[in-house]
Amino acid sequence: MRRRNFIFGIGIGTLAWSLAAHAQQVVRLRRIGVLMSFPENEPLTQACVQAFVRALGRFGWVANRNVRIDYRFAAGNPALFKRYAAELISAAPDVILASTAPSLVALKAQTKTIPIVFVIVPDPVGLGFVESLARPGGNITGFMSYDASIIGKWVQLLKEMAPAVNHIAVIFNPDTAFAPPLHSVIKTAMSFGVAITLASVRNNEAIEEAIATEAREPGGALIIIPDSFNVTHRDVIVDAAVRHRLPVVGWQIPQAGELMSYWYDPVDLHAQAASYVDRILRGTSPAELPIQQPTKYSLVVNLKTAKALGLTIPPAILSITDRVIE
């Protein structure tokens, strides 16, 4: 009888040990929500998503193995940001990646507890997203994009590239663009003898009208504020600018007819965001992670567009150009 009890005890102990060992091997599937402002089929969107996923993999997070990633693509539609933010939050993720300010606004309005890592957000302190760059506080941290000084740099580059420019229209959608205060831009423009017009647009017709208005007097040019609406309507904006022979500076690589871009690498920024997502998944509070800023900007000039506009790249511009598109 004692022998049977002994054997039975060994069997139960072995089974318990086996179950415990198996439980240790089962990894809890963590959840990441991703709210993208740009259309899903936009090449920039796909590049950013792929960079983020690859970077997560370098930290040991593999989709459908130890992490599940839920994506939503708002495509610059203001109504979709709120809806998709609610859907992601209802899934109770461990952390959410918010790409651009409209995504962050929608998420911030619906949660104060789920950690959020943002990318491509200008002036997060001035816009009230965080308390300070060094100590964000709360549940939000991330990687900011630019401040007003960059737009001032665009004015300077336009003036150097096209000296005849004396007025510039800034194209933006007030529903999706979260630009930093433009007083420094206006001040910079005045120092170059350039007038700034804020061209608020919400549809293709408004884009055409704003650009046609800017082209009525000689010396016009365009600055395209980086936001999801302008990404979605890039072809419309560039087509109108080309037809009206207006030089354009912005943030996207000027392959479609823009004159030049001066910007950081948004794809790399999404890859960097994976490091903060990793730290949060491992227990770090977002309040302890300082806001990061881009450290490198690249100047790209479209030579074909310059020739079409009758412009020659000045030596001073050529010397700091990172890439010339033939």
Same domain, 214 and 307: yes
Residue 169 domain flag: yes
Residue 5 domain flag: no
Same domain, 171 and 218: yes
Detail the DSSP E strand segments found in the chain.
Answer: 30-36, 67-73, 95-99, 116-121, 140-144, 167-172, 195-200, 220-224, 248-250, 260-263, 298-302, 323-325
Same domain, 189 and 319: yes
Residue 288 is classified by DSSP as: G
Residue 210 domain flag: yes
Domain carrying residue 272: 30-145+265-288
Residue 3 domain flag: no
Same domain, 190 and 41: no
Within its chain, how far is the Cα of 203 from the centroid? 21
Angle at 125 between CA 124 and CA 131, to 5 degrees: 120
CATH number at residue 52: 3.40.50.2300
Query: How many structural domains does the chain have?
Result: 2
Same domain, 303 and 237: yes
Residue 1 domain flag: no
Residue among 147, 145, 157 at smallest CA distance from 249: 157
**Tens of each residue's pLDDT in the chain, 326 residues:** 554 554 445 455 555 554 444 444 456 899 999 999 989 998 889 999 999 999 999 999 999 999 999 999 999 888 999 999 999 999 999 999 999 999 999 999 999 999 999 999 988 998 899 999 999 999 999 999 877 778 888 999 999 999 999 999 999 888 887 765 566 667 778 888 899 888 999 999 999 999 999 999 999 999 998 887 888 899 999 999 999 999 999 888 888 889 999 988 999 999 999 999 999 999 999 999 999 998 888 999 999 999 999 999 999 999 999 999 98
Same domain, 125 and 38: yes
Count CB-CB contacts under 10 A for residue 65: 11
Residue 160 domain flag: yes
Same domain, 174 and 54: no
Same domain, 94 and 239: no
